Amino acid sequence: MSWFNKTVSTFIDKVPPSTIAIFAKRYIAGDKLDDAVNVSKKLNKEGAMTTIDVLGEFVSTKEETEHYRDLAIKVLEEIDKSGIEANLSLKLTQMGLKISRKLCLSNVEMILKRAKELGNFVRIDMEDSTCTTDTVEIYDSFRETYNIGAVLQAYMRRTINDIQYLSDKPMNFRLCKGIYDEPRVIAYKDYDIVNENYKYCLETLFKKKAYVGIATHDEKLVFHAEKLIREYGLGKDEYEFQMLLGVDEELRRIIIENGHRIRIYVPFGKDWLPYSIRRLKENPNIIKSAMKGYLK
Ligand SMILES: Cc1cc2nc3c(=O)[nH]c(=O)nc-3n(C[C@H](O)[C@H](O)[C@H](O)COP(=O)(O)OP(=O)(O)OC[C@H]3O[C@@H](n4cnc5c(N)ncnc54)[C@H](O)[C@@H]3O)c2cc1C
């Protein structure tokens, strides 16, 4: 990591939100559900599906969880009404996981029921390691009844065991590297090991006939995934690529032109700050190029 990137990652938490907003705009559809629907329409036209995320996490009151639950249901209904090719991504801490598991389960089940009625699908995002066991267990408890998928992080040492543990029934996972800053005892910290583990987990999932959302902007991993897709003779509807809004649109077009399905993660809402900070820590170069553009 260059000195610039290290400095940005260390100090970004102290930057005023109004400044972060300038750099974070590209990652977020806007404040409103309409913004997410309009961005989805545009992406659908370009040949990409989307998954819509209501921004907000680690909420601390029951009322807030109910607000987010109702908004998630509204997203599903708006997807249905507008006819866009999109599903829903959901964070368990937004549904009250840190308040009470019972409350979280009841909120999530209401959303899953509505998704099923509408013939849609809900993907449970994976948050930091304090949520991993609960997320795996909640996914496991709902997966036979509802249209639900979860997320696995290749940086977690436990991930390959989670795949083994869950492989007794059909699996639907998004596989990503992982975004949170986890301690070395539970997570690989070395870039190459994370990539090796990504490849290992992806091949294990394909062997076990899981449906995988291959979520990465790392062209080396995209190349490896395409090789495995060919080797395993997978049909186009047996996997999908996934990318974040605002990241490497050229690679997105290449993946579409190569004949794969791709889904773009489209977050919207007022609670954009923690999500944006994570994205900017991940790629401080955004700030560098925006500053260069401004100075020009
Ligand atoms: C659809 C989707 C959903 C995700 N859901 C989760 C989740 O539920 N839980 C979780 O922990 N993580 C999630 N992530 C984030 C993921 O774990 C990684 O942190 C992120 O994708 C970066 O890893 P990478 O595989 O792209 O590889 P990297 O090696 O980090 O990046 C590869 C290249 O992509 C570009 N790039 C990567 N990130 C950015 C960025 N923010 N801005 C601009 N360029 C960038 C850079 O050019 C970089 O060189 C998700 C990612 C995607 C694509």
Tokens of 53: 């995320």
What SS3 state is found at 264? Answer: strand
What SS3 state is found at 246? Answer: coil
Per-residue pLDDT of the chain (296 residues; tens, 9 = 90+): 666 666 766 777 777 888 877 777 889 999 999 999 999 999 999 999 999 999 999 999 999 999 999 999 999 999 999 999 999 999 999 999 999 999 999 999 999 999 999 999 999 999 999 999 999 999 999 999 999 999 999 999 999 999 999 999 999 999 999 999 999 999 999 999 999 999 999 999 999 999 999 999 999 999 999 999 999 999 999 999 999 999 999 999 999 999 999 999 999 998 888 888 888 887 777 666 655 555 54
Tokens of 30: 């806007």
**CB 153 near ligand 1, within 6 Å:** yes
Residue with CA nearest ligand 1 atom 19: 179
Q: CA of 43: how far to CAs of 121, 154, 249, 278, 283, in Å?
A: 19, 27, 11, 23, 23
**Stated pTM of the model:** 0.94
| C-alpha to C-alpha distance for 66 and 172, rounded to whole angstroms | 27
Choose which residue among 53, 177, 264, 278 to substitute to test ligand 1 binding: the one with the highest number of ligand atoms within 8 A of its C-beta.
Answer: 177
| C-alpha to C-alpha distance for 214 and 162, rounded to whole angstroms | 17
| C-alpha to C-alpha distance for 260 and 252, rounded to whole angstroms | 10
Cβ neighbours of residue 160 closer than 8 Å, sequence gap 6 or more:
197, 200, 201, 204
**CB 194 near ligand 1, within 6 Å:** no
Residue with CA nearest ligand 1 atom 27: 218
In contact, 149 and 174? CB cutoff 8 Å: yes
How many C-beta neighbours within 10 Å does residue 85 have? 15
Q: Identify the residue whose tokens are 């809402």.
A: 269
Domain 29-174+183-271 is found in CATH 3.20.20.220: yes
Cβ neighbours of residue 97 closer than 8 Å, sequence gap 6 or more:
104, 131, 134
Tokens of 10: 């260390």
**CB 67 near ligand 1, within 6 Å:** no
How many C-beta neighbours within 10 Å does residue 236 have? 10
First vs last C-alpha separation in the chain: 25
| C-alpha to C-alpha distance for 72 and 57, rounded to whole angstroms | 13
**CB 265 near ligand 1, within 6 Å:** yes
